[in-house]
Every structure is written in C-alpha cells, then in structure tokens.
Structure 1
Amino acid sequence: MSRRLLMMCMSLLSLGGLVHCSKSSQEGTKPAAPAEAGKAPAAVQATAMTVAQEQQASWIRNFNPLIAPGTARWPTRAGVYEPLMIFNTLKGEFVPWLATKSEWSDENKKLTLTLRPGVKWSDGQPFSAKDVAFTFELLKKHKALDFAAVWGFVESVQAKDDATVEFTLTRPYVPGLIYIVHQPIVPEHKWKDVPDPVIYKNETPVATGPFTEVKVFQNQIFELGRNPHYWQQGKPAVQSLRFPAYPGNDQANLALLTGELDWAGSFVPDIERVFVSKDKDNNHYWFPLVGNTTTLYLNTTKKPFSDVRVRKAISMAIDRDQIVKVAMYGYTKPSDATGLSEAHDLWRNQEAVAAGDWTKMDLAKANALLDEAGFKRGEAGIRAGPDKAPLRFEINVVTGWTDWVRAAQIIAQNLKQLGFDTTLKTYDFSPFFERLQKGEYDMSMGWTSDEPTPYHVYRDLMSSETVRPVGEVAARNWNRFASKEADALFKAFEGTSDVEEQKKLAAQMQMIFVQNAPTVPLFPGPSWGEYSTRRFTNFPNKENPYAKLTPNSPPENLFVLVEVKPK
C-alpha cells in the first residue's frame, strides 16, 4: 500500500464516508447475527484487538525478551514476558507487578524484593525467586544481554527462598532500582539448556504475561492469544492481539483511518482532520509531551563530531521551529539545551537552559565555530578539515517514519548552509537500529531515555559505564560519549535517597550536558497514542490518565493490555 493509495483514501474519507481501502478485511471479530424483523442487528463481538506498534515489511518470529529492545516482536518484553515492577510516568511511582515490595538496606547496598504469590508460567509451572536469580545470572554470563549495565553495580543475586530475591550491590545505587525491576524475567526450566541466549529466537515462548500463546505467525501477520494461567484474575479481557505488518507510517495510518486498527502509537499528520473528524464518537488520540526527546545523534568517535564546537555548530544551524511546524504538525515544541522532556519538568535547571544558546538557530555563530575549529570552506562551498577531506555525511533515519524523515530532510538542508554535504540514508527499522546501537553511522535520528529522573537520561548519554566500542551493541549511549565530571555526579546521585540533594546533582548534570552537547536534542517527543472505541474500550486518555496511552513505552504498555475491554 503506497503513499499514493493513502492520499486517495484520505480524499475519499473527506467526502464523509468511512471507505475501507485496505487490501485485507477486518479479521478477529465474530460476525453479527442476522437481524430479526423489526429489530436492530446484533452487536459485533470483538475477539482480537488489532495493534500497530512495530513497523516492518515482514515479520521474523522472535520472542526473546533478553535481546535488544526493538529486535524481538512487540510486546515480548512487556506483554508476553513481564518485569518485577513498572514505573508509571504519569503518576511518578513504581507499581508492583511480579514483585509486590522492594526494600533497601545496608546503606543502600542491598535490595530485597518480595515476589507475588501464586504466579505461574504459561505452561503451568510455578514462578519463583529462582527464575529471577537465573535471569540475572544469564545477563552476567552474556554481557551482550546486559543492556542497562546492571552487573556494573550488582555484586550478586540470591534466591533466599521461593518468594524472596536479594541483590547485593558493589556500591550504593538507589537509581539502579528501575534497571533491576524493569528487567523481563524468563523461566529457568525452559532457558537453562539454551546454548546461546544471545541468538535464541524463542519461537514458542513460555512466560508470565497476559498474552503468551502464538496462535498465528505468518510473514504478514501474527496473533497472540491469552495466557491460560495469567495471575491477574479475569484479565486480560481481550482474547487475542493481532499484528498486521506495516512497512511504515503511511501504511499504518491507512489502516488506522480505515478502521482496521484498534490501537496504535504512530505519528499521524493533521490528526483532527484525517482521523478524529471521520468518527468523533470512536476515533481518539492523546499526545502528552512525556515521551523521550527526539535527538540527532552524532557519532563522537568520528571526526569532526568529536569536537564540541562542531556539535554545537550543527545544533545552531537547525531550524527547530520549522521542524515542529512542518514535520511535527505543531504537536510538540523545540527542545532546550538540557534535552529533557516535560516528564522531567520538576527537575529542570533554568540556569542550564539559559546557558544553552546552541539550541537556538544562529548561522553566524555556527559558521564562526566551524572556522575556529579549522574547517574551512573549499570548492562549491563544502567545508574540509586539515586533512582536506570534505565534510560529507549521511543522516540515518527509519524508512516510513514520515515525521522523522521530514525532520531529517530539513536538517540536511540546514547543514548545507554550513558547508556540510549531507544526505539522508533510510533503512527498515531493524538495520537502522543495529547501526545506531553499534555506532556504525555518522549522524542518526534517535531518542533518549524516558526513565524517572535526569540521572537516567544523562547516564545513557554521558556515562563511562555505558560506553561500548564501535561495532559492539550498546543499548545506551549510542553517541559513545563519556565525561569523568559527569561520572562523579552520577556516583553521588547513586548514593543518596535525599530528593533535594538529588535535584542539586541533577542540576549540575544538566550544566555539563549543556557545556558538552554530547547529542543534539530536537524536540520533546509526544507520547503517540491513537485508539478506536468501535470494538474496545477503557483506553487511557486525558480524562482517565491511568497510564500512557502509547504502546511505545514498555513496560508501561502492560497497564493498557490488562485494562482494555471488548465493547
């Protein structure tokens, strides 16, 4: 389904009728019973909720929750498998899940988790503390799976009894709670004989989540059924999840507009006109600015991006106002130089904001910085360094992510005014993400952490602990930047549970980020979420903000999966 077909359907929709332009009919519902004379037709009973979260041309059967987020099929990490607790961004609190209680002791060097009784794996075997300890031991044995660098601060993990897990830390590390409790847990009895969990596809998962049964798996569609032993009685109310393959935003949006989708988390241009107005009773969206920050990553291992002056010059050449207006349809606002979204407003250091003039467009200053850094304009206005090599670079972006593609096009045009010969390079998500994680790029669109505090955001972008060599997968710090000064602040933050002290340290982190510009923040990302109530209800929204609506923020999407109900 092409962009041309999307535009044709949008034109037909504007005539007032909901025209179904998809090549496949809506599946996953039971047909309505024939109407008796004088009576209205019986209501359609929804059985499968159709969801769009990943955008892939075709599906690869992989349900390994331990590999890089975005590699296994959604919702492997939070829906098939589950974490111990879930941080609810909107409420600012941890919600008990597989664990019911967490307790710090020994001057914040010991964390004890009490597990929920009665939880079973989907094959009926009991879930216990041994499974938790086993999962973390897998991360220790296979460093490629330890994306949060948990074993950088954890010394040991012990199952004290079936319901108690004790984590002994190498140092006080209060913010490490989220890295521990958000880890998906796997069953020891199924994984103990897996030869290499790094490459294991886990095609038939055994898990604790609400949807564990692979009912259908084809190149263009798969369907997950309910866990027969799920621990939340009466949940999920939805019988199964259905996932058609959509290569990009255009195809996913077409499915949304034509009524094929029940829940999505994609960018939709002019959503009030093209979606909501077509069925005001059922078509809804909610885009709070509590998502992660959309960022232009610069590979700091490469010249000239290793030079802070170049990074700031690139940032000052970018017309963020145009990006917000043209690429983002006014759904967001330009980022300030702290790179924090509205989820961290209570932490924001206004002095750092004021010091960060490099997120304001200023071509004169940008050109002056490049001249100072020794990159002179040559033939055709293209700048070159001392080695005479022209500044020719690619910006990586995901094929079909139309908002990001348009933003990257604007950035490329902006950088030409600086003397950069910059072009776009588009990839399907999987190869795009692999290049980003391995540091095999020049410039790349990307995103930051949306975890609870600025500590988490900046640890991902500036900590020595999260740096990996180019070519090795890094779940964090894709820019591969390290600051010893920031490392000291991270350590101090890790050792205190005093909120006021944490705020002072976070303010200093923001200043270091502003001084070094390790990445180029563009705009706080809207937390994309769209839904239709034609078949299912009880989605979160502005009036019922029990969680983020978006399916793009695991493990928080679990809140939605267990609360949505058939209409």
Structure 2
Amino acid sequence: MAQNYFSRVKNTVKISAATLALLAFAPTMALAEPTYGLAMYGEPELPADFTALPYVRADAPKGGRIVSGEGGTFDSLNPYIQKGNAPWQLRYLMAESLMAQAFSEPFTLYCLLCETVETDEDRTWVEFTLRPEARFSDGSPVTVEDVMWSFETLGTEGHGRYASLWGQIESMEQTGENKVKFTFNVENRELPLLVATRPILKKAYWDGKDFTQSGMDNIPVTSAPYTVTKAEPGMYVELTRNPDYWAKDLPVMTGQANFDTIRFEFFADPSLVIEAFKAGELNVHREFNVQTWEEQYDFPAVTRGDVVKSVIAHQRPTGMTGFAMNTRLPQFADWRVRQAMIEAFNFDYINEAQTENKQSRITSYFSNSPLGMRPGPAEGRVKELLEPYQETLLPGVMEGYELPATSGRELDRGAMRRALGLMEEAGWTIQGGQMKNSDGEPFTFEIVLSVGDDENQSIIDTYTQMLNHLGIQPKISVVDKAQYTQRMERFDFGMTPVRYGLSLSPGNEQYAYFGSASADQPGSRNIAGVKDPAVDAMIARMLDARDREDSLAATRALDRLLTAGRYAIPLYAWNESFNAHVKEIHYPEPLPLYGDWIMWREMTWYWEE
C-alpha cells in the first residue's frame, strides 16, 4: 500500500502561511473563479440554483427493491484493484467522486463531494473545495487527505484503468483546509473532468491492510448512498440504502438512490437469467436480443400486466459492434481486401436468419448521434480538417462512404462479383477453386471466438459459407475465455468480434481504441491495428477543441476516417434498449440524452405500488 504519499514530490501537502499567501495572489488563480459545474465545452446547461437533474422524479418515493441477474461469477468485493473478479456494478455504486455527471448533457459535471471547482482557461490545473458536510458511510468526514491518498493509491496500486491519469498529474497539493489542487504535465482539456470523476476512498480503512489483495472481506468504505450488506461469492451481492446518506438533499442527488435494496443475482449459465426473471426470482431484466424480446416475452406475468415491457430510446453513438480485421497481417493490410470481406458479408440474409430483420445495422462509428458523419461528400469545417491529408486518404473519406447493400438472398451474386473484383485488384485470384496470389499462396486467416459466444458463432458459420464461394476457407478457433484474452493481448487473430461503446463526449479513450501509438502495444484496445496519421490528428483536434462546434467537426471527420478505413464488418445498431420489469417499478421521464445508461436504472428508477 502507498504509505509515502506525503513525502513524494507529486503530492505536496506542507502548506505554510507564506505559501498560502502566494497561492492566493498567483496570476493563474486570479484568472479563475469558483463554480458549481464543469462542461467539456461551453457552460453547464443547468443554472447554479438548479433543484434537481432534469431526468429524475424529484419527489420519487423511497423504498422497495430492484433485483437483476448477471451471467458469470465473482470472488471479490473490491472493484478498484487488478486482482480478483468483482461485480462490475460495484465500481459505480460503491464510491462517489468529486463531481457527478449529468446524463442529460454530453459531458457536464456538477459538484458532489466538492462544493466548488476552479480551473484556468487552458485547463492546465484544477482545484476543488470539499464540502464540509461530505461524509463516508461510517459517518467520518471526507478530507483532502482521503482524496490525495485515493489518487495515488489507485494510480500506483489500483486497477490499470487509473494509471494513465495518474501519469498525467504533475503535482497534487493541499492548498487550504478543504482544498486540493491538481496540476497536469500534458496539454489535455479533458483532464480536469477525468480527475473530478475518480472514486474517493477512505484512507484510514486501509491502514494495516493490503490494498492490492482481493477477496470478500475488504469492502472499501466510501461516501456513496449504498453499502454492501450481504454477499455470497458467485451467487449474489446485495446493497442497502444508507438512511443517513449525507448528500440525499443535494440538488445533484435529489430523486436518486430511491430503492432500499439493490441486489444482483449471478448465474454461471447466462441463459438462465431470463428463466429466473420469468420465475419471479428477478424483478427487472434487460434483454439484448430483439428476436427474443419479440417472441419470448409472452409469459403469463406479461399477459396479466404484472410485468411491463419498456422500450427506451437513446441518442448515444452506436459505436462499433462487429468483426474486426487485423490490419497488422499482410492479408488485411490492403483496404481493397477489407472491402471485399465487407462485400461478402451478406448482412440482410444474416439479419433475417438471426433477428427476422428486426434489427437495423450500424452505418458508422458515431451514427445515431450528432457526432456521426453526414452522408455525401465532406463539407465545410470537416473538409478543411481532412484536406491536409488528401493524398493518403482512402476512397470514401472525402466522397462519402456507405456500406454495400445486399439482396438478402443466400447467394448474392452482385456482392460476390464486387468482392472478386476487389480481390483481383489487390493481387488475389481464384486458382483451382481457391483464392491465391501470384505465387500460388492461398488467402486464408483465422477467426478467433470465445467459448459461449453462440450468437457470433452462428453468424460466423454463415459467413464462412459465403467466403467459400470466393475460394476462401478461414480457420475458426473457439477458445476458452482465458486463452481468448491472451490471444487478444498478443493480437493473435485474423478476425474477431469487437465492441466499441462510444459516448457523446469522446475523449482520451479514442487514442486507446484507434491511435497509432496503441496499435502495436500488447493488450491495447486498438484491436484492428489502426495506424493512420489523419486519425491521430483528428483525435488530437477533438481533444484540443475550445468549443462544441470545433469538436463536432473533428469527430465527424474521425468518423469518416474510421468508417472508410474498413477496419471492421459492422453488425447491429442498438439505438434503444429493452427492459422488462414488474409493474411496481417505474422509470422517470423525460429520458436522459444517454437513455438506459450505466446505473440509470438502479439510481433513478423507483418503487411505487
């Protein structure tokens, strides 16, 4: 455990009267003013005297319980470390941060543990003043010492997700009794918001304990409205609302944390979750298969009206769900080969077989949102941003790119002809019934899937039959989850399922997904191996944007580059979510911009007879 954080240069906490005086008159401090909220671009939409977030029911009744099911297992109750397998929900329910995100805006935070926040125009530093009334669940106050300990411990001993931000903090210092300031060592306007959303833990709880060790005994003490009260490894975890929760009357928390109990039941076989819901063991269930939603939700509780089916729309980007092609391999280095693979993927036929054509297709990475590229040629600011890279841009970036239409017949001859033409342009022809190059080497690759991924297995089985018509016979490897993880970390695959969830305020994670620096970094999320200077430039421009319009243009340009890059074969778009729940459980309206987002159901829904 990090015991030396008071002595480290990064964490200066010795404050003399002279130092405080100098800080009070420092030029950068004079340029900033304390405020109640912080937006990535522009100003927060809500006024300083707002009484509740716009998507909650301010007078929602308190009580009842919400019980949902999860496939899988767990053996730890500490979601902030690398070791062990903790329920993913605990990361969001167990700890509060300095500020809370409003899901009615792309990326705006409002003060929670902090009373005010300050930053300079260039966002090279950020300072928080803690609320004197902020308390942990055991009643002890949240202090600057707790904040600083949390940042260093998470950054050096916690889960790897916290290390990147810690590396971008030049210094962390106490600047007053309830004040803490972070100064950054890189130019990145998102950093103040990332600092504001890190979990804050209680330092004293970990005295004499090893923070890095997982298990069921060490449950982090936090300031959140819920605490873990019951748990059985691999079976269930139950959280109970703290009636003395310190922030229950704050405007940012009004109408939230309404259930007395939140419980997650775990099933080793994920297919049993829906059966448990039908049997009444669960009272909410989120369905991810539209065909199942249409065909299997006619059981007696639904017909009686005891269970309600709710379809909840959102305005988030679709992201990318599909099959990534490994561009590090010579087989997929040529964009024409990648386009041929997309042409051969008869989406309409597969969609009919999988969902009876009830599911729409992703059209670009940021589709379904204002961030998505517009159809047709690039125009205006988007065109200006892309023009310096004109000579290296792939076809479709400037002109506009659309996924090929398919006939829906089992054998789409038009698509096959287009795919064959592209393969021939790339140096591959059918020789003796097999796709080969001029040296007679066959075109083949390995499709790697994880055990239990039945839906993708079914899709790939159909797709490989389509590839056989092109003289291509890929190898299909289905491996256990541990081996799958290892192979992804080594980029040991030709094609594999991929899922990128993208937000309405894309940030530094875009470098991890698509940046050149991460393309050959083992274990990175850049699955396809995207390595494009234009992509890097658009991400940098997006992060450095001073207003929403500039960020919007850079993101739309990025969307064009990624989509026309043909890095993945797109599958289904999830522009709405399907929630079944007992009639006593309700959700507030209007819906937030993010729709059915992380913990929206657990935190804003309520029980009413």
TM-score range, shorter chain: 0.7 to 0.9
Shift of 1:215: 0.8
When the two chains are superposed, the root-mean-square deviation of aligned CA atoms in Å is 3.8
Conservation of the 8 A alpha-carbon contact between 1:455 and 1:506: no
Shift of 1:446: 2.5
| Residue equivalent to 1:539 | 587
- Which of 401, 404, 407 is the matching residue for 1:356? 401
Conservation of the 8 A alpha-carbon contact between 2:434 and 2:471: yes
| Residue equivalent to 2:342 | 315
- Which of 426, 438, 454 is the matching residue for 1:373? 426
| Residue equivalent to 1:119 | 134
Q: Structure 2: how far apart are the matches of 1:412 and 1:86? A: 46
- Which of 171, 190, 194 is the matching residue for 1:156? 171
Shift of 1:75: 0.9
Q: Structure 2: how far apart are the matches of 1:453 and 1:59? A: 31
CA deviation digits over 1:426-471, x for unaligned, max 9?
567676566545644432223213222356674343223544623x
Q: Structure 2: how far apart are the matches of 1:132 and 1:409? A: 51
Q: Structure 1: how far apart are the matches of 2:573 and 2:224? A: 31
- Structure 1 stretches of 5 or more lacking a match? 1-44
SS in 2 for 1:135: helix
| Residue equivalent to 2:562 | 513
Conservation of the 8 A alpha-carbon contact between 1:49 and 1:242: yes
| Residue equivalent to 1:75 | 89
Shift of 1:105: 0.9
SS in 1 for 2:321: strand
For normalisation by structure 1, the TM-score amounts to 0.75
- Which of 144, 161, 177 is the matching residue for 1:146? 161
SS in 1 for 2:502: coil
- Change in CA separation of 1:324 and 1:132 when aligned onto 2, cut-off 3 Å: farther
| Residue equivalent to 1:393 | 446
| Residue equivalent to 2:67 | 50
- Change in CA separation of 1:188 and 1:479 when aligned onto 2, cut-off 3 Å: farther
Q: Does 1:263 align with 2:284?
A: yes
Q: Structure 1: how far apart are the matches of 2:209 and 2:490? A: 25
Given residue 107 of structure 1, which amino acid in structure 2 is its aligned partner?
D
Q: Structure 2: how far apart are the matches of 1:214 and 1:194? A: 20
- Which of 285, 309, 314 is the matching residue for 2:310? 285
- Structure 2 stretches of 5 or more lacking a match? 1-61, 250-255, 379-395, 407-414
Q: Structure 2: how far apart are the matches of 1:328 and 1:298? A: 24
- Which of 536, 539, 548 is the matching residue for 1:487? 536
Given residue 55 of structure 1, which amino acid in structure 2 is its aligned partner?
G
* Greater mean deviation of Cα atoms: 453-462 or 309-318: 453-462
Q: Structure 2: how far apart are the matches of 1:99 and 1:247? A: 40
CA deviation digits over 1:315-361, x for unaligned, max 9?
2222233444443455542122x32231x235433336862245555
SS in 2 for 1:421: coil
Larger Rg computed on CA atoms: 2
- Change in CA separation of 1:250 and 1:390 when aligned onto 2, cut-off 3 Å: same
CA deviation digits over 1:282-310, x for unaligned, max 9?
32232425354313223333342344333
Q: Structure 1: how far apart are the matches of 2:193 and 2:562? A: 22
Q: Structure 2: how far apart are the matches of 1:497 and 1:170? A: 19
SS in 1 for 2:204: helix
Given residue 241 of structure 1, which amino acid in structure 2 is its aligned partner?
I
Q: Structure 2: how far apart are the matches of 1:148 and 1:319? A: 42
Give the count of matched residue pairs. 506
Q: Does 1:244 align with 2:260?
A: no
| Residue equivalent to 2:511 | 459
Q: Does 1:216 align with 2:264?
A: no
CA deviation digits over 1:128-180, x for unaligned, max 9?
34333333334543596136833565433444346444332334322445544
For normalisation by structure 2, the TM-score amounts to 0.71
Conservation of the 8 A alpha-carbon contact between 2:118 and 2:127: yes
Question: Percent same amino acid among aligned pairs?
Answer: 18
Conservation of the 8 A alpha-carbon contact between 1:122 and 1:228: no
Shift of 1:271: 1.9
| Residue equivalent to 1:345 | 370
| Residue equivalent to 2:603 | 561
